[in-house]
Amino acid sequence: MSANNVNIHTVGGYNFYSFITDGKKYIIGGVPQKYKDDYIAEAEDASAIILLTSKPEFCGGVGDVVANNPDIDVYATSAGLRNIKEIINRDINECLIKDNMEIGGIKFIIAPNLSWVDTVLAMYSGTLFSGELFSGDEEYYNENLAVNRDFVKSAIERVKTLDINSIFPAKGEVCDVATAILQYEAFTAIPEKTKSLLSIVYSSEYGFTRKMAEYAKKILTEDYDVYFTEAAACDMAVVNNSDVLIIGTNTINRNAPQAVWDVITRLDLVNMRQTPYFVFGSFGWAGDGIKLVDKTLQAMGMKQIAKPVEVLFNPSEKDFTQLEKAIAKLKS
């Protein structure tokens, strides 16, 4: 398939591109290692590979291409060149990409953290090769790019100044420019808040930790928009937009349950660093799960507002008072 004088190669939902300019054949982008055969075949007579990122998902087969054709040039940002050499474990003909640089009618735009720090966009013949930007739907955006929302917004603003008529992403269909920009502006929009958003995420085996979570919700609702959810049903898009995070966990086999760890491992630690947090929970023999969650959030760079409140089995009025005192430190 071809468009705008560019050949489009799609395999397993991934796209890479090829075209000839100034008598040289260029390959733009890449695919996962398991789809490398088509990539290697197309690059056999190429003069250069342009890596929009060294993320392994988009550079499979580069090592084989270089092994077959040691004279091929590899274009990437400084971070990309460093990374690709370590990924394929061989020397390459390094060609450094700088912002606004042009070769053979191809213009480069440095756009870091989309989603790797080494990301670059490329323009040729009215086409923008956008890499992960504009790839996929909202689910793809949330899983791959939302953590770097501010970088995505900056890239979109820069794309809007370019004279392009189509967008060729690393995954998915060729995009209409106006539609793609509007869609991604919607993805990156920050909802207006009338109050600060606070998430209470809990796991409770026998209902005791849930009682504590419900009590916390009751005393916090006046000052915050409270998102209250079981860990297993958690909407991470809401949690990752929170101004405060409170986690309630039970302890099973000296550990927090898997549902709680699933939430923690999906936290946006770029944008949530220094976010205030607090941990509480009920336990039977030892509150190891509560301690582990608290230590992990500290290690992730979040800001502890109070020491964890640990309750043996069913919380009493005294325990609820202790919980309220801990939460009151949010206002101090």
- Residue pair 307/280 in contact (Cβ under 8 Å)? The answer is no
Of the pLDDT bands very low, low, confident and very high (cuts 50, 70, 90), residue 287 is confident
Per-residue model confidence (pLDDT) at position 74: 98
Is the confidence at residue 235, as pLDDT, over 80?
yes
For 152-186, write each residue's pLDDT tens digit.
Answer: 999 999 999 999 999 999 999 999 999 999 999 99
Helix (H), strand (E), coil (C) string for 163-232: CCCEEEECECCCECHHHHHHHHHHHHCCCCCCCCEEEEEECCCCCHHHHHHHHHHHHHCCCCEEEEEEHH
Structural domains of the chain sorted by starting position, each given as residue range(s) with its CATH number in brackets:
2-188 (3.60.15.10), 197-324 (3.40.50.360)
* Mean pLDDT, residues 114-126: 96
Is-contact 280 251, C-beta < 8 A? Answer: no
Mean pLDDT of the chain: 95
Q: Which of 190, 233, 205, 219 is nearest to 278 (CA)?
A: 219
Res. 190: pLDDT tops 90: no
Closest CA to 245 of 222, 223, 272: 272
Using pLDDT thresholds of 50, 70 and 90, give the confidence band for residue 1.
low
Residue 285 is given by DSSP the state S
With a CB cutoff of 8 Å and minimum separation 6, the contacts of 192 are none
* Average pLDDT, integer, range 35-59: 96
Q: Is the pLDDT of residue 234 over 70?
A: yes
- Name the pLDDT band for 192 (thresholds 50, 70, 90): confident
Q: From 103, 130, 100, select the one nearest 114 (Cα to Cα).
A: 130
Check residue 298 and give its pLDDT: 97
What is the model's pLDDT at position 142? 87
The DSSP H or E segment spanning 109 is: strand 106-110
Q: Residue 2 has what pLDDT?
A: 64
What pLDDT is attached to residue 237?
A: 85
* Polymer length in residues for the chain: 332
pLDDT at 46: 97
Per-residue pLDDT of 303-312, as tens digits, reads: 999 999 999 9
Give the model confidence (pLDDT) of 14-38 as tens digits: 999 999 999 999 999 999 999 999 9
Give yes or no for residue 193 having a pLDDT over 80.
no
